[in-house]
A = this chain, B = another copy of it.
């Protein structure tokens, strides 16, 4: 039984509550888990946003007429709706239950990533990082400085999908690995060309880590060990389907 080629998903426990200005790399290295060169470090967006101070006190938010109108229809807090609108480039769908919008980064998701859960204080919400690819790169560099290791870093959030119920964890920031794996031009085991086969590796890694990052468990960081990845300077922004080739906006 040869298990040399297995992949391991390791939950990182014991991180403290993260506050604005905290050095996430130092906090992660301070746990009992020893990161190794070649690991993929997967970090939940929430703690990245907290360390970067991407938090909004709803008491400071003045909702627009549009926000008030949507909030009335959806029976939500108009201040939260205002923050969602501020974080959105455009609204993709909006009905009595949900706002699906395109964030300023280009991600399409519910509520533009604005979230009340796991944020201290009833009147506070968290936003997505301003530039999650840059957040991932900085974390990768900082881990290298502090521990002399070369790892890939993913920042993830849970997104809904068209056509299928439930959320899955997806990559919103990537540093050090190729988010997409392109098999076009290669052949299958029967010598036929593989047509249109590009695998969204970063999202599969994110989903795998999602199995450990449950909403109520305090596991915002997962180490993926044993996955051989292609290095790349591309970020998660390369996963976004260009508008002109997207049939579902």
Residues of A within 8 A of B (CB): 1-3, 5-11, 13, 32-34, 93, 95, 98, 100, 107-108, 110, 116-120, 122, 158, 161-170, 179-181, 183, 186-190, 192, 194-201, 203-205, 207-208, 210-212, 214-216, 218, 227, 238-241, 246-249
Contact of A162 among B210, B215, B246 (CB under 8 A): B246
B204 touches A168 (CB 8 A): yes
**Which residue from chain B places its CB closest to the CB of A228 in the assembled complex?**
B211
CB within 8 Å for A168 and B207 given contacts A32-B2, A34-B1, A162-B161: yes
Q: Is the CB of B3 within 8 A of A215?
A: no
Query: Once the chains bind, are A167 and B120 in contact (CB under 8 Å)?
Result: no
Copies in the complex: 2
Q: State the 7 A-B residue pairs at the shortest beta-carbon distance, nearest first.
A: A166-B200, A207-B207, A208-B208, A162-B248, A7-B9, A162-B162, A108-B163
Checking B1, B190, B192 against A32 with a beta-carbon cut-off of 8 angstroms, the contacting residue is B1
B210 and A204 contacting across the interface, CB-CB below 8 Å:
yes
Name A168's contact: one of B192, B203, B241 (CB within 8 Å): B203
Q: Are A11's CB and B6's CB within 8 A? A: yes
Which residues of the other chain, B, contact A164 by a CB distance below 8 angstroms? 170, 200, 203, 239-241
The answer to whether A165 and B190 touch (CB under 8 A), given A117-B195, A204-B208, A215-B197, is no
Complex CA gap A31/B100 in Å reads: 46
Of chain B, the residue at the smallest CB distance from A226 is B9
Q: How far is the CA of A118 from the CA of B204 in the complex (A)?
A: 22
Name which of A32, A164, A167, A241 has the most chain B CB atoms within 10 A of its CB: A164
Which residues does chain B contribute within 8 Å of A196, judged by CB atoms? 110
Is the pair A180, B199 in contact by a Cβ cutoff of 8 Å?
no
For A122, give its contact among B8, B110, B192 (CB under 8 Å): B192
How far apart sit A216 and B107, CA to CA, in the bound complex (Å)?
30
